[in-house]
Amino acid sequence: MVYVMRAVLPVMRQQRSGHIINISSMAGVIGFEHCAAYAASKFAVEGLSLSVAAEVERFSIKITLVEPGFFRTELLDAQNAKWTSQTIEDYAAKGSVQETWSTYNGTQQGDPAKLGDALVKIAGMENPPKQFHAGSDAVTMIKPALEARLQEIKDHEALSTSTNGNF
């Protein structure tokens, strides 16, 4: 993703227009058990996309960050997924990574073709969203997570602002 953005941004800056669509995951907003490495990579996509978007908007370049829920792809197919064989006893009661995620294979409600249609619509928008939560499951899970973060900021605002110096 970094290499592609490095390749296209000089052209987009020169033409003073462009639109990059980066695919993350709702795991990049929420984080899930048995998913730390994947979530970390998706949080990185979030940070990269939002930061570069702020840098290039003055050149009329838009970046849309797509945060899909579960889509019926072959990502979790046994031929594609590589599950760790290591277990940590303290976490064993919650089940293994494979037990947690392989059950979703073939049952995801998101339709990749419909997501493709939505991305084509976004690409044609004059003012596309900076973040697009794809799938009802993504909306259902991301919305309360963000609301909880906002509430936490409110709950600890006095402590947060108390760290300012008196220089």
Q: Which of 3, 17, 25, 38 is catalytic?
A: 38
Tell me, yes or no, if 94 is annotated catalytic. no
Q: Which of 24, 25, 49, 62 is catalytic?
A: 24
Tell me, yes or no, if 162 is annotated catalytic. no
Q: Which of 25, 42, 49, 62 is catalytic?
A: 42
Tell me, yes or no, if 42 is annotated catalytic. yes
Q: Cα separation of 12 and 20, whole Å?
A: 10
Active site residue ranges:
24, 38, 42
